[in-house]
Amino acid sequence: MSEDKVNLLKSRLTNFKIEYTDVNGTPALYINKEDILEVCKILKDDESLKFNSCVDAVSVDRFEKKDRFEMIYNLLSIDNNERLFIKIRLDSKRPEMESLIPVWKSANWYEREAYDLMGIIFLNHPDLRRMYMPENYEYHPLRKDFPLMGIPDSIPLPNK
Protein backbone atom coordinates (compact mmCIF):
# COMPACT_ATOMS: atom_id res chain seq x y z
CA MET A 1 0.00 0.00 0.00
CA SER A 2 1.40 3.37 -0.96
CA GLU A 3 2.21 6.07 1.56
CA ASP A 4 -0.61 8.18 0.07
CA LYS A 5 -3.10 5.39 0.81
CA VAL A 6 -1.81 5.02 4.37
CA ASN A 7 -2.23 8.77 4.86
CA LEU A 8 -5.76 8.51 3.42
CA LEU A 9 -6.46 5.71 5.87
CA LYS A 10 -5.19 7.82 8.76
CA SER A 11 -7.30 10.78 7.65
CA ARG A 12 -10.48 8.66 7.61
CA LEU A 13 -9.81 7.31 11.11
CA THR A 14 -8.73 10.44 12.99
CA ASN A 15 -11.56 10.07 15.53
CA PHE A 16 -10.17 6.78 16.85
CA LYS A 17 -7.12 5.83 18.88
CA ILE A 18 -5.31 3.53 16.46
CA GLU A 19 -1.76 2.20 16.49
CA TYR A 20 -0.32 1.89 12.99
CA THR A 21 2.23 -0.84 12.30
CA ASP A 22 3.59 -2.77 9.33
CA VAL A 23 3.63 -6.52 8.68
CA ASN A 24 6.17 -7.28 5.94
CA GLY A 25 5.08 -4.29 3.87
CA THR A 26 1.35 -4.62 4.61
CA PRO A 27 -0.21 -1.97 6.88
CA ALA A 28 -1.67 -3.19 10.15
CA LEU A 29 -3.89 -1.33 12.60
CA TYR A 30 -4.31 -2.05 16.30
CA ILE A 31 -7.87 -1.00 17.06
CA ASN A 32 -9.52 -0.70 20.47
CA LYS A 33 -12.18 -3.36 20.82
CA GLU A 34 -14.74 -0.70 21.76
CA ASP A 35 -14.29 0.97 18.35
CA ILE A 36 -14.00 -2.14 16.20
CA LEU A 37 -17.42 -2.13 14.53
CA GLU A 38 -17.40 1.56 13.72
CA VAL A 39 -13.86 1.47 12.30
CA CYS A 40 -14.61 -1.64 10.22
CA LYS A 41 -17.73 -0.06 8.73
CA ILE A 42 -15.60 2.90 7.63
CA LEU A 43 -12.96 0.58 6.14
CA LYS A 44 -15.61 -1.24 4.15
CA ASP A 45 -17.95 1.59 3.13
CA ASP A 46 -15.55 4.46 2.42
CA GLU A 47 -15.42 4.94 -1.37
CA SER A 48 -11.65 5.46 -1.36
CA LEU A 49 -10.81 2.46 0.83
CA LYS A 50 -13.38 -0.27 -0.03
CA PHE A 51 -12.01 -3.10 2.11
CA ASN A 52 -14.95 -5.21 1.03
CA SER A 53 -13.63 -8.67 1.82
CA CYS A 54 -12.50 -10.38 5.01
CA VAL A 55 -10.39 -13.21 3.62
CA ASP A 56 -9.11 -14.65 6.90
CA ALA A 57 -9.00 -14.18 10.65
CA VAL A 58 -6.72 -15.80 13.18
CA SER A 59 -6.45 -15.83 16.93
CA VAL A 60 -3.14 -15.54 18.76
CA ASP A 61 -2.20 -16.51 22.30
CA ARG A 62 0.71 -14.23 23.18
CA PHE A 63 0.90 -15.92 26.63
CA GLU A 64 1.38 -12.65 28.53
CA LYS A 65 -0.39 -11.40 31.66
CA LYS A 66 -1.88 -8.30 30.02
CA ASP A 67 -3.72 -8.50 26.70
CA ARG A 68 -2.87 -12.16 26.29
CA PHE A 69 -5.00 -12.74 23.19
CA GLU A 70 -5.24 -11.07 19.78
CA MET A 71 -7.61 -11.38 16.85
CA ILE A 72 -6.12 -10.53 13.48
CA TYR A 73 -8.40 -9.98 10.48
CA ASN A 74 -6.95 -10.05 6.97
CA LEU A 75 -8.91 -7.58 4.80
CA LEU A 76 -8.77 -7.14 1.06
CA SER A 77 -9.89 -4.27 -1.14
CA ILE A 78 -10.73 -6.09 -4.34
CA ASP A 79 -11.28 -2.83 -6.23
CA ASN A 80 -7.93 -1.35 -5.16
CA ASN A 81 -5.99 -4.63 -4.95
CA GLU A 82 -4.77 -3.76 -1.44
CA ARG A 83 -4.50 -5.69 1.79
CA LEU A 84 -4.83 -4.53 5.39
CA PHE A 85 -4.54 -6.31 8.74
CA ILE A 86 -6.62 -5.19 11.68
CA LYS A 87 -5.63 -6.39 15.11
CA ILE A 88 -7.52 -6.34 18.37
CA ARG A 89 -5.85 -6.99 21.73
CA LEU A 90 -8.06 -8.91 24.14
CA ASP A 91 -8.07 -9.31 27.88
CA SER A 92 -6.39 -12.31 29.47
CA LYS A 93 -9.21 -13.23 31.86
CA ARG A 94 -12.24 -12.59 29.63
CA PRO A 95 -11.22 -12.42 25.96
CA GLU A 96 -14.25 -11.02 24.18
CA MET A 97 -15.08 -8.59 21.40
CA GLU A 98 -17.94 -7.70 19.08
CA SER A 99 -18.46 -10.04 16.16
CA LEU A 100 -17.58 -8.56 12.77
CA ILE A 101 -20.32 -10.50 10.98
CA PRO A 102 -22.48 -7.34 10.64
CA VAL A 103 -19.67 -5.92 8.47
CA TRP A 104 -18.27 -9.03 6.75
CA LYS A 105 -20.39 -12.19 6.75
CA SER A 106 -17.28 -14.23 5.96
CA ALA A 107 -16.06 -13.62 9.54
CA ASN A 108 -18.58 -16.23 10.72
CA TRP A 109 -16.51 -19.40 10.55
CA TYR A 110 -13.24 -17.67 11.46
CA GLU A 111 -14.82 -16.40 14.67
CA ARG A 112 -16.39 -19.76 15.45
CA GLU A 113 -12.99 -21.41 15.05
CA ALA A 114 -11.33 -18.84 17.35
CA TYR A 115 -14.10 -19.43 19.90
CA ASP A 116 -13.73 -23.20 19.74
CA LEU A 117 -9.96 -23.50 19.79
CA MET A 118 -8.85 -20.36 21.65
CA GLY A 119 -11.88 -19.47 23.79
CA ILE A 120 -12.47 -15.96 22.43
CA ILE A 121 -16.08 -14.84 22.90
CA PHE A 122 -17.67 -12.90 20.02
CA LEU A 123 -20.52 -10.79 21.29
CA ASN A 124 -23.65 -10.74 19.11
CA HIS A 125 -22.40 -13.61 16.94
CA PRO A 126 -25.51 -15.27 15.45
CA ASP A 127 -24.29 -18.87 15.89
CA LEU A 128 -21.38 -19.04 18.34
CA ARG A 129 -20.86 -22.74 18.90
CA ARG A 130 -17.99 -25.16 18.62
CA MET A 131 -16.82 -26.46 15.24
CA TYR A 132 -14.28 -29.17 16.02
CA MET A 133 -14.50 -30.01 19.71
CA PRO A 134 -17.59 -31.44 21.44
CA GLU A 135 -20.01 -28.75 22.64
CA ASN A 136 -19.51 -29.65 26.31
CA TYR A 137 -15.68 -29.70 26.06
CA GLU A 138 -14.35 -27.24 28.63
CA TYR A 139 -10.85 -26.64 27.21
CA HIS A 140 -9.42 -24.68 24.28
CA PRO A 141 -6.67 -26.70 22.56
CA LEU A 142 -4.81 -23.83 20.81
CA ARG A 143 -4.05 -22.00 24.04
CA LYS A 144 -0.39 -22.16 24.94
CA ASP A 145 -1.15 -23.53 28.40
CA PHE A 146 -2.97 -26.55 26.92
CA PRO A 147 -0.81 -29.69 27.41
CA LEU A 148 0.92 -30.94 24.26
CA MET A 149 -0.31 -34.48 24.84
CA GLY A 150 -3.83 -33.31 25.62
CA ILE A 151 -5.79 -33.92 28.79
CA PRO A 152 -6.28 -37.62 29.57
CA ASP A 153 -9.91 -38.77 29.49
CA SER A 154 -11.21 -35.32 28.55
CA ILE A 155 -12.82 -36.70 25.38
CA PRO A 156 -14.35 -40.15 25.22
CA LEU A 157 -12.67 -42.12 22.45
CA PRO A 158 -14.43 -44.79 20.39
CA ASN A 159 -13.95 -48.41 21.48
CA LYS A 160 -11.51 -50.43 19.42
User: Which pairs from 68-73 meet CB under 8 Å and 24+ separation?
Assistant: 68/92, 68/95, 69/95, 69/118, 69/120, 71/97, 71/114, 71/120, 72/28, 73/100, 73/107, 73/110
Give tens-digit pLDDT for 49-101: 999 999 999 999 999 999 999 999 999 999 999 999 999 999 999 999 999 99
Give tens-digit pLDDT for 100-129: 999 999 999 999 999 999 999 999 999 999
The answer to whether 60 and 74 are in contact (CB under 8 A) is no
The per-residue pLDDT for 46 is 95
Q: How many helices (H) and strands (E) does the chain have?
A: 3, 7
Mean pLDDT over residues 139-145, rounded? 94
Give tens-digit pLDDT for 24-59: 989 999 999 999 999 999 999 999 999 999 999 999
Report residue 153's pLDDT band, with 50, 70 and 90 as the boundaries.
Answer: confident
Report residue 160's pLDDT band, with 50, 70 and 90 as the boundaries.
Answer: low
Alpha-carbon distance 68 to 81, whole Å? 32
Alpha-carbon distance 49 to 137, whole Å? 41
Look at strands 96-98 and 121-123 and give their pairing: parallel
